Each structure stands twice: as structure tokens, then as C-alpha cells.
Chains A and B, each alone.
Chain A
Amino acid sequence: MSRDKHSDTWSTAPLLRVACPMLAITVLGWLAPAHAQGSPQLSESEFLNDVPIVLSVSRMPQRLDETPGSVTLLDRAMIRATGARDVADLLRYVPGFEVSSSFESNAPQASYHDSLKDYSNRVQVMVDGRSVYSPFLLGSTGPGLQAVAIDDIERIEVIRGTNAAAYGARAFLGMINIVTRDTIDTMGVTANLAQGDNGIRDTLVRLGWGDNQARFRITADQRTDSGLLGAGGRDHVRRVNFRSTFQASDKDRLDVRAGQSVIDAGVGSANGGSGNGLRNRWIDTSFVQVDWSRILHADADLAFQYAHMDESIQDQVPNSDFTDVLMNRGGRASSDSMMAQHTARFNPSLQWIWGAELRQERIASRILYDTDDAFATNFYRIFFNAQWHIVPSLVLNAGSMLERNSVSGDTASPRTMLNWHLMPGQTLRYGVSKAHRPPSTFENFGHLVYRSPSLAAAGFPKGEFVDFQSRGGLVPESIVSREVGYLGTFDSLQLDVDLRVFDETSTNIIREKKEANDYTKYFVNIPGGNWSDLSAPLNTHGAEFQLKWRPWQGGQWSLSHLWIDNGRLYPRMPLTGSSLLVTQRFPMGFHVSLMRSRTDAVPEMPNNGVPGPAVNRTDLRIAKELQWGSRKGEVSWVVQNAGTAYPDFDPNFQFVRQAYVMLRLEN
């Protein structure tokens, strides 16, 4: 398909793919019998009769001071207070994260304790328990972070540190778990409209309907702006997401989700030469997800999930030098996943979760693999985790993921974490975990070759330019992560403290390599992962903390800071990063937020390899709640980067000051 066809209008066929099941589900919902509304009569049965179990063991909230790792929780109030327009932008407030607003490599992305250069493929992204990690190319968090409208998000749980024991290979350094709002919380009609500098034009329409037994939600939105100054042009993200919830019985609940997101981004540059000219890249992702949960009794339940995802990439690179060379870097990826898990509480002190997942990923791209055949990778996973209160003040979390990858073999990712409640509100945590990241399909099998008579005429042997050719033999990357954590709650000061001191040692890191006299690149495992010292394992260590302080009524201060001696950077250097978010509620429904974030200068910028300066950014949001009878709304004014422009992802891409106004109406 041509670039223009997709850049201006919604693509009909992919939408229909999603719309058909949605329509069927909607009709089913309308046909479902409405809940009988009898006239109210109070009898003794209201007091004496049993009622269905709702909060079974897996639905119980987990205490942050008993989780096997550090967790940053971004709730709806905080998400709204930041004025962020996408998830990647939000993650700047999580200690240890580096974020970018650039669509240049694929979509705005976020990495934890890692550089952004490698598509941030060492962090897992989940939406409602479904992996939205993009397996195309080297793997990426970018498209997944754009999977849902920010207004549909209930909360984001960011697990800082490896979480492969629970979610497998991709949660190598951390995990971003996006939880969307329940259908019951989004009944009625909601409309958002934002307009501002730099071509910002975001719109959202959401419709929620149903009753206690069956509920539905459909959200359509778009996020549009002119992109970073100096980057490839306008960036559009268009999404439609459908979710339905059926209370099939007192014990059974069925959730059906389907959706599509289309990222249509201007990338490349006018002087990008043959390989990176100005163009639009089009990433179209659609999915269907079915979750069935059954409460066996208060202490045990079962969950099943099936998910299917399709990803289609169109990237037609203009080529003025060799016009007969095929330069479409597109392709297709798809995945199917089936998962079952059982959660049980043996007694008040011991509970566990165990389950299995079968997952297949298929990737096909003529240009990336020099074949039309699809490469399939099967993942067979068995996981378990037990939480044992050895004594009330000592909690042991122990578990492992056993994973068989049909291409790169078997791995085990165990984790042991001990949480010790020194006294009420004071917890120390110590743990060790191990994780593996198997090579991506491109790292294993990539064969990027351009062929044409004009290349032969230009002196390339056989008329071929082999940009990349895998040499095979790659083994999974490994990491051993040790951490000491502290969680403190000081009620009298209204202060929460979360401190993590970490030591992460990686081996067999996969890096791109090129021989001195050859232009063809390939991937190799580097024992140390760092070109400066190939023999020693790569070690990253440091500390990070976050503080939450509610000094007075309606006010909250959130401060985070990272200090890291980051062996992943070359040359190796210590880095710091910090963020401050101050929110204050005023009378008459006014809300004011002030955000400040800072990251150190880096030795290499993601897209260019040249040093990047320290970045300071200040954002401001002023909002006023609106109310007309039962209808609610809000008008807000947001300034992003109130200071001077800073380079983002590439020294030539500038994030300049931009302001926008958003109107939100709820009925």
C-alpha cells in the first residue's frame, strides 16, 4: 500500500477486522437479558443469605511492601495531573527511566537502566495482562506504549527491576503494566478535545453502556502533532479500543477486548541520503483478547487468556540514488498466546500462583530476511511464585519462570525476595533474580540485502548491498540482579519513601558488529557487553528513590532521583536523573501541577552516537473542573517544556516549548 493512502484516512480493511467481532459482541450484549429490577422489599434474607464471593485471592490488592520488587504506581489522578499525552511521557516521573518523544525509530519509547538505542527491547509492556511488546525488528516498547488512549488507563504499575520470573524473557530489566479502566467506571459519553502549539490536536470520544451483567466500552481517539522540530514531520496516532465485560455467573467473568492502533509518523530527514529520506512510517497493530476468570472459592481461582495480535509495518524509504532498489522496510508480525493460571491461598500465611503459557510469534519481511517465508518462534512457559509469611513480619516471595524457546533453547529465571517489616510502616527488602532475553528473530535470522542492476553498475558484487546478515549462534542475554530496598511510611509526616539500591550484572549482551573492511553488520554476544572490556561481565549499579509527601490538604509532592554507574553506556560513566511533580487542589475546582525533570548529559544520543547535553524540562498544568447538574467536565491548560528547547533522540531533533488547551466533557 502506498504511503499516501494511509497517511490521510483510516484504513478500512484493518478497521473492519476489528469492527466485525465488536459488532457481534455488541449485538450479543443487547440480546442478553436485562437484569430484573424488582420492587424493593427488605426482609431478613438481605441479612442472612449468602452472597457471591467477589474478592477472591487473586483480586486482593497486593501491598507494595510485600511485592517481590520495587513498584512505582502511577494512578489516574497523577496521570491526569501531569498533562502527559502518552505513556512514554509519563514514565519520566519513574526513577530509572529514560524517555523520548521521538517517533524516529518506531514510537516514543522508554527504557529502564538501558540506553534508548536498542529500541528499548529489554523492558516488557503489558496492557491488561496482554503483552504488547513489539517483536518486529529488535523488539520494542514503543508501539505498545501507544496501544491505549491515556484517558482509558486506570493505573500503570512499573516494576523497577527484572520481572522475568513472572512474565518471561522480555521483562529483562523491568516491566510496565498498564491497567485500563473497568467498564463500570466508564459508563456514559466522554469527549476530549485538545488543541495547541506545534499542531497539537488530540481528540477522544468514548461511549460506555450496559448493566450489572454485561457492559461495553468503545473508545476512539487520535493524538496528532507536528513532531519534534527538525524531525520527519507530523505524527498521528489513531486508535479504537473496545472492551466488554460479561458477568456470566456468580463465579464466572468474561472480558473481551479488541482494538486497533495506527501510528503514522513522519521520519527521516531531507538530507538522510538513500537510507533515511523523509517519509511516513506506518505501524498498524490490531488485537483480540479474551479473558475468562472463575472464582473457585474465596481462596482459589482460575484465569484463562487467549490473545491474538497482528502488526503490519509499512516503511517505504525514498531512494534517489538507486531508484530500482526495493526500499520498503516493512513487514508483518503476529502472535497468538494462550495462558492459564491458578491462584490459591493454602492458609493465611501461604499463597501461590502457578500457570502455563503457550505463545507463538511469526514475523515475515521480504527486505529484512530476504525471503517471503515467516519465521515462527514458539515459547512454552511454566511459572510459579509462592508468597510465604514465615512470621508475620517476614515475607518470602520465591518463584521462577521456566521457558522453552523453540529457537534459542531452555532458560530458567528464578527470583527470591525477602521483605522484612521492621515495624509498622517500615520494610526492608533483599532479593536476587536472574533473567534471560533470547535473541529476537531479526538478531537470529536477519538478512537485509538490497539488490538491483544499478547497484551492480555502481560496483557492488552481484549487484547486492548486504546491509546486515546474521551469522547465527547467538545465545540468550543473561542478567543477575541483586537489590536492597526500603519502604517507609511516616503517617505523622504524610510521607512515603521507596529506595532501591541495585547491582545488575549482565553477560552475553547482544551487540551489533561490523568488521573493519566490511560494510555488512551482524550481531554477536559480548561476554561483557561493553566494547571497552570484553572479558568482564557488564555491571550496572546504583540507587534510586522516590518520595511522596502530602504536606497539606489537597497537595502532593512526588520526587524521584536516580544515580547509576551505567556500564551500558560507552564510554562508561555515572549518570543521574531526577523528577519532581507538585500538585495542588484549590477551592472552586482548580488544580495546579508543576513538573520538573532532569537527566544528565549522555556520551551517545540514541540516533546519532554523538554526545547529548543534560536535559531540563519544566511543565505546568492549570485545570478547572466544570459541572452542569449531573454532567462533569474539565478545562485545562498545559505548557510542556517551559524552558529552552532540548535535543531529543537526535541532536537535530528539538523539543520546543508547546502549550495546549484541553476540554473534557463527561455525561
Chain B
Amino acid sequence: MYWPGPSLRLAFLCLLLGCGLPLWVHAAPLQVLIVSAERNAAFTEAAEVFTTELERGGVARSSVQYLTLAQARSTGAKPDQVVLALGVEAATEMARTETRVPVLGAFVPSASFEAIVRNNQRRAASAFSVIYLNQPLGRQLDLIQLALPQRPRIGVLLGTVSSEHLPVLEEERRKRSMSVLQSQVDANEPMFAKLQTLLEGSQVLLALPDPQVYNSGSLQNILLSALRANVPMVSFSPAYVKAGALMAIYTTPAQVGQQAAQLIRPVLQGKDLAPPQYPREFWIEVNGSLARSMNLDLDAHTLTERLKRLEQKK
């Protein structure tokens, strides 16, 4: 049997060290790919918490990679086990891409997820799931009942997107024996008159995300009209509380990352992806100045705890 001489052995060793070692370093498989259309503060925070949580469960940090869609396309990165798609655009792209690994979406509103599934004929349960960005309607109604029991009449202004929630809203309202006055605005219809009528009959305005109704152009008029009618707004985004809504219930990026890690850990162990679900954890933001000026005694921390306890009892 031929055995190379010392010089050749040295050369072979060099080849191994020069080429083989880097190959060996990359040899740790890419198990999880996190992807988003762009990097923003919310996505970055969620991805970081997600990675840390997986690491805590024994997954090597190096087997989790966070790329933008453009980077993923150019490098052709393909994970072995699962994709976490952050945001509607990334989830849509992953739905279109022929990938054999399951995809978990996050930061995707339920209406958008349903549209993605509808348009891409992808099976939702086993290969494509999501943590919805929006809170369950029942949770929002529970919050209003807890925080503003003296204001039982809730008004909801609905556009084309948010009116899809109507059946669920009706069901949840009935469960709680609450009074919900709803008004639907068509795409090109001015909303002023309907808003006025709605505010006349309401004591709380529940804002549901819909760019046709709530956008930077309309928000000023809606909030000021509601204030004149002494109708505080309960919203879905802390930015609205800063702008002038009374309260918002939402899930923080860190909470999204944590829940995503909890859902992906079983997949890494060979189990099926959990079905689409609402965020488990949430936080409540209160506009302290407005609450005080409306003579309402509201504390964000207490409300969050009380709402969690209420959900645990159910």
C-alpha cells in the first residue's frame, strides 16, 4: 500500500488545514432560518429573544441564522428543519417558495395569514403556521369589561379588512352579554357621518387595525371626535396610546420571540408544527395623562395581571 512520503504528508495536512478546516467549521447544519423583508427594531428584538431561547434549550446559536429575504435569496440558504418568517412579506414569500421544511410566521395579522393561505393553497396546519399579530377579540372585550365596567356600550368602526372579524366579534360579544355598536365604512365612503353616529351611541371606541379606517391621515380626526364625545379609544398598538388612545393591548416583540421558540422547539425534535394561534402573552399600555384627565383610575400592570388571571380561569 502506498503511503505518501513526509513531504507529501505535510502538503496533504496543509490542504486539510487550509480547506478542510473551514469546511469542518461550517459543517454545523443550518437548522433554523429566521427571515424578514427588512430588519427593524421589533424583528431584531424578536429574533434575538427567539435565538436565545432556543440556545437555552440546547440548540447551537450557530445553527440559527437571521437573514433578510434578499440575503436569503442571494446566498441560497436553506435550513434543515424550520423557517421563522417575520412579517407579512416574509410569510408570503415563504408560502410561495417550494420548501420542504415547515414555516412558522410571526408578526402576521390573522386576516393577512388567511389571505396568504387562500392565495397559495398551502396547508395551514402541518407545514405553515403562525403566531397572529392581533389579539383575540375576546381578550380585548375582556379588557374593556375589566378596565371600564362603567362603560358597557362599545363602538367599532369597521373597514373592508376589519369587517371580516364581525362574526367572531358578534360571538364574543354574546358570550359576555356586552353591547357592541358597529358601523361599516365602504372603501371610498367618507367616514365622518358614520363616526359621529357611532360615537353618539358608544362609551368606548374599540379600534381594530384597518388602514382604510385608521391611518395617519384619519387618526387625528377620529381621536379628537372621540374625545369631544367623551368616548375613549382602546387600541391595538402602543403608538396609538402615545398619540391619544386611552389603552392598548398588544404583544411585545420579546413575547413573540419567546412564543416562537416554544413552538419551534418541538419541530426541532421531529414533532409537527402547532396550528396557528394567537399570542399567549400580552401587555397593556395606559395613557396615564388621559386616564387622569378623564378621572379614570387605571394601572397597566394591575390590568395585565387581572386579565391574565381571568384567562387562566377560563
Contact = CB atoms under 8 A, between A and B. Distances in A.
A contact patch SS: loop
A40 B293 contact: no
Contacts of B109: 42-44, 46-47
B216 interface: yes
A50 B228 contact: no
B293 A61 contact: yes
A548 to B, nearest CB: 14
Contacts of B300: none
Interface in A19-74: 35, 37-44, 46-55, 57, 59-63, 65
A42 B209 contact: yes
Contact of B42 (A48, A53, A59): A48
Contact of A43 (B87, B220, B236): B87
Nearest to A55: B244
Interface stretch (A110-118, A183-191, A325-333, A614-622): A183-191
Contact of B88 (A44, A52, A59, A187): A44
Contact of A182 (B133, B150, B225, B239): B225
B262 interface: no
A51 B239 contact: yes
A274 interface: no
Contacts of B211: 38, 40-42, 46
B210 A55 contact: no
Nearest to B251: A47
A53 B133 CA distance: 23
A250 interface: yes
Nearest to B211: A40
B278 to A, nearest CB: 13
Q: Which of B108, B193, B236 has the most CB of A within 10 A?
A: B193
Contacts of B292: 63, 348
A467 interface: no
Given A42-B161, A44-B109, A348-B288, A52 B293 contact: no
B192 A59 contact: no
A658 interface: no
B293 A63 contact: yes
Given A42-B161, A55-B223, A345-B289, A47 B244 contact: no
A43 B215 CA distance: 12
A493 B84 CA distance: 56
A40 B187 contact: yes
B243 A54 contact: yes
Given A46-B109, A187-B190, A52 B220 contact: yes
Contacts of B225: 182, 184-185
Interface in B185-217: 187-188, 190, 192-193, 196, 209-212, 214, 216-217
Contacts, number: 135
A424 interface: yes
B182 to A, nearest CB: 16
A51 B219 CA distance: 8
Contacts of B193: 187-188, 630
Interface residues of A, number: 43
Contacts of A44: 42, 87-88, 107-109, 133
A1 to B, nearest CB: 42
B167 to A, nearest CB: 17
Contacts of A65: 295
Contacts of B243: 51-55
Nearest to B230: A61
Interface in A117-162: 154
A255 interface: no
Given A37-B187, A43-B88, A54-B220, A298 B242 contact: yes
B227 A61 contact: yes
Contacts of B294: 61, 63
A12 interface: no
Contacts of A47: 107, 109, 133-134, 209, 236-237, 250
A608 interface: no
Contacts of A188: 193
Contacts of A40: 159-161, 187, 210-212
A514 to B, nearest CB: 52
Contacts of A53: 242-244
A448 to B, nearest CB: 47
Interface string A594-617: 000000000000000000000000
A315 interface: no
B185 to A, nearest CB: 11
A51 B216 contact: yes
Interface in B253-309: 287-290, 292-295, 297
Contact of B295 (A37, A60, A63): A63
A556 to B, nearest CB: 15
Contacts of A43: 87-89, 109, 112
A39 B243 CA distance: 24
A184 B112 contact: no
Nearest to A348: B288
Contacts of A41: 112, 161, 211
A212 interface: yes
A50 B224 CA distance: 18
Contact of A187 (B187, B192, B216, B250): B192
A89 interface: no
Nearest to B244: A55
A583 to B, nearest CB: 16
Contacts of B209: 42, 46-47
B221 interface: yes
A247 interface: yes
A211 interface: yes
7 contacts: A46-B211, A46-B237, A47-B236, A51-B216, A51-B240, A59-B224, A213-B217
Given A46-B236, A53-B242, 5 more contacts: A43-B89, A49-B239, A51-B240, A52-B220, A55-B224
Interface of A: 35, 37-44, 46-55, 57, 59-63, 65, 154, 182, 184-185, 187-188, 211-213, 247, 250, 298, 345, 348, 424, 491, 630
| Among all A-B residue pairs, the 7 with the closest Cβ atoms | A55-B244, A54-B244, A40-B212, A46-B209, A44-B107, A212-B217, A54-B223
